[in-house]
Amino acid sequence: MRVGQGFDVHRFASGRKLILGGVEVDYHLGLTGHSDADVLSHALGDALLGAAALGDLGRHFPDNDPKWKGVSSLQLLARIVELVRAEGYELVNADLTLIAEEPKIAPYITRMREEIARALGVEMSAISIKATTTEGLGCTGRGEGMAAQAVVLLEGVNE
């Protein structure tokens, strides 16, 4: 068994769509980043890579490589799970937390779980997503952006 944790934060930006867990969320701001800036998927990707001792997102998908500009983070997750499986591990479960004052994401959580599960090739029951605020404290509390945390459990598979 291997445990990995991931963390990511992105600044809000106008003129961009807000993508969280592979789902477009109705909000007047998006997040800035080289890819689709899906903070939730990025935290999950880092947790998966970390659990398998494969480095981080920047190592595999550098932000100075035009190939990754605007790419869907679900595509990145699909590639990451291939790397994890090549190391002999399968995802047991993932627990993700979005940290933001707004928007409310409860209406989107089921779709996010479905999209992430599909990208990773696992049952939706293996993916948990929840949200919290920082009660007005810090960069997320001031509404400057969003952060996300992820914890994953991998299990070695016998060949």
Domains by residue range for the chain, with CATH? 2-156 (3.30.1330.50)
Residue 104 near residue 59 (C-beta atoms within 8 A): no
- Rounded CA gap, 147 and 155, in Å? 27
Which pLDDT value is given to residue 93?
98
Which residues touch 159 (CB under 8 Å, ≥6 apart)? Answer: 88
pLDDT tens-digit profile of 139-150? 999 999 999 999
- Rounded CA gap, 135 and 30, in Å? 21
Which pLDDT value is given to residue 147?
97
Which pLDDT value is given to residue 146?
97
Which pLDDT value is given to residue 71?
85
Say whether pLDDT at 64 is over 90.
Answer: no
Pick from 130, 133, 143, 154: nearest CA to 47: 154
Average pLDDT in the chain: 94
Residue 32 near residue 47 (C-beta atoms within 8 A): no
- Rounded CA gap, 11 and 106, in Å? 21
Which pLDDT value is given to residue 159?
56
Which pLDDT value is given to residue 139?
92
Which pLDDT value is given to residue 44?
98
Mean pLDDT, range 102-114, rounded to an integer: 96
Which pLDDT value is given to residue 88?
96
Tokens representing 152 are: 């994953």
